[in-house]
């Protein structure tokens, strides 16, 4: 579970609303690997390994600047990680990256209370530093996340969501023996969101997404599910404004904890 605090500046910055967030996450991770190698004569060998560990993720920081123009909302953001010191290169199970990374981008949300339709898109690029334990550095990547939904009521939305990840530059370092090893993957699936009151001055937002990965290159394919719970001050307007949650990938495309709220 990712936990964090957000400070929103009362004074406008460049005509927009500025905020800064710090996030952290304890948790348990379990990793399993099955591999098989077939030689030129048809002989094969296989192996299996698992690792389970209760540990801490890195500390993440995130800054955002948002502007509202009626039904149109825009924002720019930057985010990065501070290593927690829990990375262990001898273990399969790690929540810490083992390197620092920075990410920046922009987003747009169309939210029309008259039609109850919403569309959001966020795009950015990630630069990853060197993993000194492994002597390996992931290349720069581009990522785009989008979602479209319709409010069936003021508290319930349904829709679709997807993402695109493309590594722009190759991996490098003394142990980059596979060459550039550029990754690519697309994902697509349904989403559902619920808004509910939390006391008199706050509201909760629960979002569930499920993705089917496809068109992968040097990336695993499969199914991914995301559950997000956010508590925020209740909006003064009657129309709900859901948070746009972005699944991002730090260096090499590993999912990372982070969210960018455009609306």
Per residue in 24-71, pLDDT tens? Answer: 877 777 777 777 777 777 777 777 888 788 778 889 999 999 999 999
The whole-number pLDDT of residue 261 equals: 45
Q: Which residues contact 39 (CB under 8 A, 6 or more apart)?
A: none
The whole-number pLDDT of residue 236 equals: 65
Q: What are all long-range contacts of 232-241, with beta carbons under 8 Å and residues at least 24 apart? A: 232/202, 232/203, 232/205, 233/201, 233/202, 233/203, 234/197, 234/200, 234/201, 234/202, 234/203, 235/203, 237/113, 238/154, 239/113, 239/154, 240/151, 240/154, 240/155, 240/157, 240/195, 241/111
The whole-number pLDDT of residue 259 equals: 42
263 contacts 109 by C-beta, under 8 angstroms: yes
The whole-number pLDDT of residue 232 equals: 81
Residues 233, 234, 240, 242, Cα dihedral to 10°? 20
Q: Which residues contact 52 (CB under 8 A, 6 or more apart)?
A: 28, 29, 30, 31, 93
The whole-number pLDDT of residue 38 equals: 76
Per-residue pLDDT of the chain (263 residues; tens, 9 = 90+): 667 788 999 999 999 999 999 988 777 777 777 777 777 777 777 778 887 887 788 899 999 999 999 999 999 999 999 988 788 788 787 878 889 999 999 999 999 999 999 999 999 999 999 999 899 999 999 999 999 999 999 899 999 999 999 999 999 999 888 889 999 999 999 999 999 999 888 899 999 999 999 999 998 888 888 888 888 888 765 555 554 444 444 444 443 333 444 54
The whole-number pLDDT of residue 215 equals: 92
pTM for this prediction: 0.77
The whole-number pLDDT of residue 161 equals: 96
The whole-number pLDDT of residue 1 equals: 63
CATH domain 3-34+44-256 topology:
Porin (2.40.160)
Each domain of the chain, given as residue ranges in start order, spans 3-34+44-256
**């370092």: which residue's tokens?**
173
Look up residue 123 and give its two tokens: 């795009």
The whole-number pLDDT of residue 55 equals: 78
């Amino acid at each position: 579970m990712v936990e964090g605090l957000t400070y929103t500046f009362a004074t406008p910055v460049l005509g927009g609303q500025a905020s800064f967030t710090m996030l952290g996450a304890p948790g348990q991770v379990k990793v399993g690997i099955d591999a098989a190698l077939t030689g030129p004569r048809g002989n094969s060998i296989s192996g299996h390994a698992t690792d389970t560990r209760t540990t801490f993720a890195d500390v993440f920081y995130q800054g955002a600047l948002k502007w509202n123009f009626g039904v149109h909302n825009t924002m720019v953001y930057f985010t990065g990680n501070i290593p927690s010191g829990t990375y262990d290169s001898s273990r399969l199970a790690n929540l810490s990256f083992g390197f620092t990374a920075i990410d920046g981008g922009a987003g747009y949300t169309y939210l029309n209370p008259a039609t109850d339709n919403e569309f959001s898109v966020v795009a950015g690029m990630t630069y990853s530093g060197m993993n000194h334990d492994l002597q390996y550095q992931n290349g720069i990547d581009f990522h785009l996340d989008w979602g479209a939904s319709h409010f069936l009521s003021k508290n319930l939305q349904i829709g679709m969501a997807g993402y695109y990840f493309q590594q722009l530059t190759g991996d490098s370092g003394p142990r980059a023996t596979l060459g550039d090893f550029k990754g690519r993957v697309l994902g697509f699936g349904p989403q559902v969101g619920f808004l509910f009151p939390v006391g008199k001055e706050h509201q909760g937002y629960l979002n569930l997404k499920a993705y089917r990965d496809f068109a992968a290159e040097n990336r695993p394919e499969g199914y991914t599910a995301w559950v997000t719970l956010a508590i925020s001050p209740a909006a003064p307007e009657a129309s709900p404004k859901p948070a746009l949650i972005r699944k991002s990938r730090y260096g090499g495309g590993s999912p990372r904890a982070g969210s960018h709220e455009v609306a």
